[in-house]
Amino acid sequence: MKTEGGSTNDGLSLAPRSGERVGRGARRSVGARAALWAVTTILAAACSSSKQDGPPTTTPPTRVGPLCSARYPGPSPLRRLTRIEYARTVDDLLGPGLVDSSRLPPDERALGFANNAEVVSTGGLLVEAYSDLADEAGDVVAAHAGNYAACAATAPDAACAATFAATFGRRAWRRPLATDEQAALAAVYAGGAADGGFSEGIARVTAVLLSSPQFLYRLETGTSAATPSPAPAVDVPDAVALTPNELATRLSYLLWGSMPDPALLDAADAGRLATPADLAREARRMLADPRARTIVTTFHAQWLGIDQLADASKDQVVYPAYTAALSAAFTRESARFVEEVVFDREGTLGALLSAPYTFGDATLASFYGASPPAAGGDLITLPATQRAGLLTQGAFLAVYGKANQSDPIHRGRFVRERLFCTTPPSPPPNITVRPPDLNPRLTTRQRFAAHTGDPNCSGCHILLDPIGFSFEHYDGIGHWRDMEGGQPVDSIGALSGTDVDSALEGAVTLAGDLSRSTEVQICYATQWFRFAYGRGESTADACSISDLATALAAAKGNVRELLVALTQTDAFLYRRAGDLL
C-alpha cells in the first residue's frame, strides 16, 4: 500500500506535539513525508496497537527547502563531555596518554547514542573521578612545567603562573579568560605556591581548570552586544545566536570529539567564524584531520550497536570458532571499513551499506570465504553473492545474533528501527514468549514459523521476520551457511512499507535496496542529528532535519557533506533563549 501526499493531521502521524521530545523511532515530516506516512499507515494497519505518540495537536513546522524560512533551533540541553570526549580533550590539552581516564563511569545511553544530554546523570562516583583526574593532570603539569609554560624554566614565579593560567586556561575553557577569572586563578596559585612552591601552585591552577564547569560542560550563553553574532538574523524571538567561541566548541566536539585546535580558537577570536560559510570552511579543514575519522567510526559503532560486540557472549559448544580474537577482528574490520569508505573511497552511505569489499587479514578473509588480501595489503574482495556492506559483516551479525543461533527477529527489528527510524512494537505484555528451541532437524526459519501462524504475533512480526529471514545464510556469529538442520537455507524475504519495497533473496539484495532508499537516507541524517546534537529530535527540528536530508541527497549520499551540513542547521547555529533562563 502506498499513499501519496499524506496530511500531517492524518491521525496516524507519529509527530509529537510541538515542543515535546521525541522518542526513538518517532517519525518527523520532511521531504519524503509521503513515503513515511505510507510506512506509518501500513504499520498501523498491520499492528493495531502500534501508535506511539498519539495524534498531533498542532501542525509541526514541516516546510521544506525554501518554505523552511523560520529559525527553529530546538532545545539545547546542557552537554557534558562524554568519556570519549574527556579522554581526547585531556590528551589534546596535556599530551597523549598522560592521564588515564578509563575509570570514568560509562555515559548514559539513549536512542542508541552514549551522548544524550537529556539523560546525563551526575553521581559521587563520577565527580570523585573528575577530582582525582584533575589532580593527576595537575601532577603532570607540575612535573613538566616547561612544556606548558616556557617561562617555568627561567622564571618560575607568579607572573609566569599568570601567563600559564591565561594560555592554558584559554585552551581548557575553549575561550579567553575574563579578568576576574584570571584573578581567581592567581589566588589559587598563590595558595599553592605558599604550600609547595611554583609547581604546587600551577598544579592547583590546572586542577581547578579541569574540575570546573567551564571545562566539563559546554556552557553556552549566546551572543550579547559584546560578542557579535556570526549567524544570520534570527526571525524567532526565542532563538539566540551563539558566540564564535561557542560555535568553535560545537564544531570541534562535533567533528573531532575534542577541544578546538589553535587555528580554530584563533579564527573564533579574530572574527573569522562570522558566517555559516566560515563554519563550512572550518568544517572542511577539520574533516581532513585524522581526528574526524575517529568520530565517524564512533558514530557508526554506536548507531549499529556494534560497540557492544565485546560483551556479546556466545555458546562455545555451538560456536567454538567464536574467539576473542575473532570478535576483535570484527571490531577492527568495521571501523576500518567505515573509515576507508567515508574518507578514502566512495564516501557514501550507499557504499557503507553495499560495498563488495572489506578489510582484514587472511583469517578474516577465510571466515568470509574470500581470497586472502594481497601481500602487504588488507583489502578483501568479498564473494559477491554472499556479502555486501556493513550489515553482512561479522560485527553486526554477531551482535544481532543469539548466543546459540541466528536472530531473524532482531535483525529485522534493527533494519526497521535504525535504518528506517520506525519503531515496530514489542510483544504485548502478559504473553508468554517462547523462542524456539534448537532442533537439529529444523532450520531457524521453520522453528520461527509460529510467528506467522499465531494471529497474536503475525500482525507485527510480518514487519520484522521477512526482513530478518533474508539474513538466514548467516549464523549467530555471521558465518555463511548453505545448510541448516540438514536442509537448504531459505533466505527469501520481503521489504514492505518502504520506498524500496521488494522481494528479497538474501541480505545482499536487501543491502542493494537499502542503499537506494530515500527513507534510509533521511533516517541516517536523523541518526546523525541525534549523535551530533546529543538529543532526540523535536518537532521544532523539522527544518534542521529537512536541511540535512536535502544536503545528503544533493551530495548523492556523501557522508562528509552531511557532516558539513550538520554545521549549517538552525539546531547548530542557535539555541533557544528559554534554555538560558
Of residues 139-198, those binding another protein (CB under 8 A): 139, 184-185, 187-188, 191-192, 195-196
Report the Cα–Cα distance between both ends of the chain, in Å, rounded: 48
Helices (H), 506-575: 507-516, 518-533, 542-554, 559-565, 570-573
Stretch in the footprint of another protein (CB under 8 A) among 61-69, 211-219, 256-264, 549-557? 211-219
Supply the minimum distance, in Å, between the C-beta of residue 369 and another protein: 27
Supply the minimum distance, in Å, between the C-beta of residue 412 and another protein: 15
Stretch in the footprint of another protein (CB under 8 A) among 257-265, 285-293, 426-434, 474-482? 426-434
- Residues 352-391 contacting another protein, CB under 8 A: none
- By the 8 A CB rule, do 570 and 233 touch? no
Nearer to another protein, 289 or 454 (CB): 454
**Which of 98, 150, 166, 219: binder of another protein (CB under 8 A)?**
219
Q: Is 395 in the site for another protein (CB under 8 A)?
A: no
**Which of 10, 92, 132, 490: binder of another protein (CB under 8 A)?**
132
**Which of 46, 203, 231, 239: binder of another protein (CB under 8 A)?**
203
Q: Is 488 in the site for another protein (CB under 8 A)?
A: no
Q: Is 52 in the site for another protein (CB under 8 A)?
A: yes
CA 463 to chain centre: 25
Q: How many angstroms separate the CA atoms of 6 and 8, rounded?
A: 7
- Give the sign of the dihedral formed by CA 353, CA 550, CA 78, CA 20: negative
Supply the minimum distance, in Å, between the C-beta of residue 530 and another protein: 9
Burial grade of 16 (CB within 10 A; 0-12, 13-18, 19 or more): buried
- By the 8 A CB rule, do 90 and 133 touch? yes
Residue 560, all three cell numbers: 562528509
- Residues 257-316 contacting another protein, CB under 8 A: 308, 310-311, 313, 315
Q: Is 318 in the site for another protein (CB under 8 A)?
A: yes
Q: Is 239 in the site for another protein (CB under 8 A)?
A: no
Burial grade of 38 (CB within 10 A; 0-12, 13-18, 19 or more): buried
Q: How many angstroms separate the CA atoms of 266 and 215, rounded?
A: 18
- Residues 70-109 contacting another protein, CB under 8 A: 77-78, 80, 103, 105-109
Q: Is 207 in the site for another protein (CB under 8 A)?
A: yes
Q: Is 131 in the site for another protein (CB under 8 A)?
A: yes
R_g of the chain computed on alpha carbons: 26
Neighbours of 53 (CB within 10 A): 17
- By the 8 A CB rule, do 333 and 544 touch? no
- Residues 551-580 contacting another protein, CB under 8 A: 578-580
Nearer to another protein, 10 or 135 (CB): 135
- Residues 435-464 contacting another protein, CB under 8 A: 435
**Which of 9, 57, 122, 147: binder of another protein (CB under 8 A)?**
122
Degrees (nearest 5) of the Cα angle 327, 329, 333? Answer: 120
Supply the minimum distance, in Å, between the C-beta of residue 120 and another protein: 7
Q: Is 226 in the site for another protein (CB under 8 A)?
A: no
Interaction mask 13-32, another protein, x per CB under 8 A: --------x-xxx-------
Supply the minimum distance, in Å, between the C-beta of residue 132 and another protein: 3
Q: Is 127 in the site for another protein (CB under 8 A)?
A: yes
Q: Which of 581, 578, 496 is nearest to 538 (CA)?
A: 578
Q: Is 403 in the site for another protein (CB under 8 A)?
A: yes
Cα torsion 299, 303, 306, 307 to 10°: value is 50
Q: Is 325 in the site for another protein (CB under 8 A)?
A: no
Residue environment code for 389-410, b if the CB has 16+ CB neighbours within 10 A, otherwise e: bbbbbbbbbbbbbbeebbbbbb
Nearer to another protein, 247 or 460 (CB): 460
SS (H, E, C) 335-374: HHHHHHHHHHCCCEHHHHHHCCEEECCHHHHHHCCCCCCC
- Residues 519-538 contacting another protein, CB under 8 A: 535-536
**Which of 233, 375, 433, 483: binder of another protein (CB under 8 A)?**
433
